[in-house]
Structure 1
């Protein structure tokens, strides 16, 4: 069986033809259209015409009812709002179609073939522009009454008399732009220079080389993430937390998160267990694998 699996991101649409065992037979990527739904559907039609498939599985941004195939929002795809997306797609493609939220797909990949395959309960955090996430309960993705479970980006990190402000949300305090700002402050440079020369792999190389300002910025960033994880542990108390996203590839990043969690526990919470933290097994292909797994589950559940 040959499934066309599509991972829709804010910049690129990654696609692959995969068999049921998640072997990638062919793959590629195209820019994501941000103008209108017709442009998006045209790209999907072009992919379908390249090579027919027995089914189509999609990983999409936004709040999604995966069982119904309804998209309440579409993340960076502003033209997607309150759409019966499966109904629309099945007018174009005469095969079973399934779709699910991208962070939930990343978690499903870990449940199926990754670092949550041995766990019943877990939490996945995906570090990117914001903080995507998913909650796994009894081996299944917890979607929530309004499909908001795992939308950790909206959690407020400051509690005082101020009004709700996204500037103090987990997305802004624990996302990529937050690290860039911490780097700029640590080095006394502009945000533009920090973004160009001091992020990603180069920043961690500086830290691994003992550069104190790089270490300081990463420490502050991982402290914020550790506080978020600690809060989530008190809410869900899972067997394991997994951290995904490009930054999770860096061993120093994971070490610092664990260090900061240990410091939190040492402050009057020493008797409480430390959360188990691991990196996700899958990186760039996580959403593809998870979308395929969701497609398989939907076909099984339909019979």
Structure 2
């Protein structure tokens, strides 16, 4: 009996079939359509599944996901998915249970199944990309929250009446410690902006350029404050950090650990995420077993 994991991205949708040991046995992907997204997913799934028997389907998507009802309430990059009854449509098409979750939550599950958090039962996984995603796992169970929105840590307030976040609120952690926030910091620095620096350039020149050092230190300060807040609230065994920003971690990881060690009065165990592009798909498959 197999489970299906689906990762809905802004440019492509990835499909994976997993066996009872959570091993990927078959995969496929399609370009994300602008309309009729679920209908196109059904066609691709029929080709992937064929005559195999499946236990259930897990779907991972960015945005605000109503886990209990299987509906994506809002998704900035995929407006065509907003309030579409994905769970009901897939269950009707395949006659199996379907679970829909936030992609960061699914990535967190994956890190516990096959990644950096395999050895612990309670941890938080943070994804640093355009925004900040989060997944909270306690006693091997994903924390969904009362309304299914648990883990939206990027939208905790870091600076009262601060910079307007993409969500419309002011001062969110995401507005100060995401990849997009770093891009803003670079554009606000005359020297870096005039040289068309990108985040990758700033990280690579962290140790040999005063302007780069100043911006990265500023960024890491905000990142560390948010991480320490999470440590005090949840006291997890581990905080796992992944997402696109982590690709440059060799330039700044030690500095982040030093900042946290100097500020936090309780130990913070940081680990880098081990799973890359397949994390959300793997986690979506695991979501089926958690139901």
| TM-score class normalised by the smaller sequence | 0.7 to 0.9
Look up the match of 2:176. Answer: 173
Select between 161-170 and 63-72 the one with higher mean Cα deviation.
Answer: 161-170
Secondary structure of 1:79's aligned partner: helix
Instruction: Note the alpha carbon deviations across 1:179-237, whole angstroms, 9 max, x for none.
Output: 1122334462439933xxx223x4433336x3333233222111111011111222112
Q: Deviations over 1:229-285 (max 9, x none)?
A: 1112221122211111022232233222212213324xxxxxx22311111121211
Quote the residue 1:213 is aligned against.
211
Structure 2's unaligned 5+ residue stretches are none
Specify the SS of the correspondent of 1:91. helix
Quote the Cα distance in structure 2 between the aligned partners of 1:192 and 1:149: 40
* Residue matched to 1:257: 256
| SS of match in other structure, 2:6 | strand
Any idea what SS the aligned residue of 1:256 has?
Answer: helix
Aligned residues: 284
For 1:90, what is the secondary structure of its paired residue?
Answer: helix
> Are residue 51 (structure 1) and residue 44 (structure 2) matched?
no
The answer for the alignment partner of 2:18 in structure 1 is 18
Q: Any idea what SS the aligned residue of 1:126 has?
A: strand
| 8 Å Cα contact 2:67/2:100 also seen in 1 | yes
Report the aligned-residue RMSD.
2.8
Q: Which of 182, 186, 190 is the equivalent residue of 2:185? A: 182
1:116/1:93 CA distance change after superposition, 3 Å: same
1:111-148 Cα deviation digits (max 9, x unpaired): 22222222232111111111100111122111111122
Give secondary structure in 1 for the equivalent of 2:287. Answer: helix
Q: Distance in 2 between matches of 1:46 and 1:91?
A: 13
Match of 1:275 among 268, 271, 288: 268
Change in Cα spacing, 1:14 to 1:180, as seen in structure 2 (3 Å) is same
Aligned to 2:203: 204
Distance 1:47 1:111 in 2: 28
TM-score (norm 1): 0.82
Partner secondary structure for residue 234 of structure 1 = helix
- TM-score, with length taken from structure 2: 0.85
Aligned pair partner of 1:242 in 220, 240, 251: 240
Q: 1:248 to 1:189 in 2, by over 3 A?
A: closer
1:79: how far off?
3.2
Measure the CA separation in 2 of the matches of 1:275 and 1:226: 11
Where in structure 1 do 4 or more consecutive aligned residues deviate above 4 Å? 160-165
> 1:8 aligns to what?
8
